[in-house]
Structure 1
């Protein structure tokens, strides 16, 4: 707004303050004007040119109306710009109980779901894991392996379907390369080295055999 007339920035302050105080604020569920005075702000009636017989008053009020319209235009444009920027990072996602989804995590901060030799170059998505329940409108609870040491509820922005608009394919196990016994708590468990479809052999990962059979019932290890 002040870019067009840098020296006249002070003339915008009163109008900007009025707009702020008479705009609904979600934090207080009302307008600052009503919170202070206990009543709705007065309705603004546009000034009609020539309504005042005093020439100086008429010019001042006409100039005020012009400033108000320009101020409203710039504020609306700024709001639209911010909304467009925010919408670029939003996508409508909804899952059903039982759906398989990928979970986005930082590999260098997460080691209980899967271990990689090269954390920096490893994939950013883990899974897929079945959706166990929906928690509110934007969160889901996943069925994670018992070895996972993280909370099982995640925001929808951290999840994506195995087959989405980006063409990501669901990874399926091809064969078992090796087996080993590991200790989990007070009991022993079987882990298998799985070769996945559409990946390199060096991308094979150790998976809990019981969890693998639950995620891929048709796969016979």
Structure 2
């Protein structure tokens, strides 16, 4: 419906609008963005910020997801510095924990990082 907020799906393909390149932990959706207008049968026009001025504002329904207000899975565009390809680099900022796991014949070191532009709850 016009006036609701939605999340915008980020393409997982290389060369297409992409907001990270970290393999399996790529963000899937960004937003939320407000719906301005219903265009055709299956397309909507979104209110995109100035930081995304190079992106077309009309998207098919398949690229949108209803926003429910739980902000745990959203990357907010205003905290992320994009380059000219609308991508950014994930950078660790703090080491939160270290652990050494001992197997039969070897030891595996694990380090838990807090990533830039993500809260502590999303540390990996």
TM-score, normalised to structure 1, is 0.31
Q: Which is greater in Rg?
A: 1
Q: Unpaired runs of 5+ in structure 1?
A: 1-95, 164-168, 173-178, 183-192, 203-221
* Number of positions where the alignment pairs a residue of Structure 1 with one of Structure 2: 85
Which is richer in helix? 1
Partner of residue 71, structure 2: 171
Instruction: Map 1:1-221; keep pairs closer than 5 Å.
Output: 96-107=1-12, 108=14, 109-111=16-18, 115-116=19-20, 118-148=22-52, 149-163=54-68, 170-171=70-71, 195=118, 199-201=121-123
CA RMSD of aligned residues (A): 3.6
- CA distance in structure 2 between the partners assigned to 1:101 and 1:159 by the alignment: 6
- CA distance in structure 2 between the partners assigned to 1:145 and 1:171 by the alignment: 18
Please state how far the C-alpha of 1:153 moved relative to its aligned partner.
0.2
**Preserved CA contact (<8 Å) 1:103 1:158:** yes
Q: Unpaired runs of 5+ in structure 2?
A: 73-78, 83-115
Which is richer in strand? 2
Distance 1:154 1:196, change over 3 A: farther
Write the deviation string for residues 4-56 of structure 1: whole angstroms up to 9, x where unpaired.
xxxxxxxxxxxxxxxxxxxxxxxxxxxxxxxxxxxxxxxxxxxxxxxxxxxxx
Structure with the bigger RCO (C-alpha within 8 Å, sep 6+) is 2
- CA distance in structure 1 between the partners assigned to 2:6 and 2:47 by the alignment: 10
Please state how far the C-alpha of 1:137 moved relative to its aligned partner.
2.1
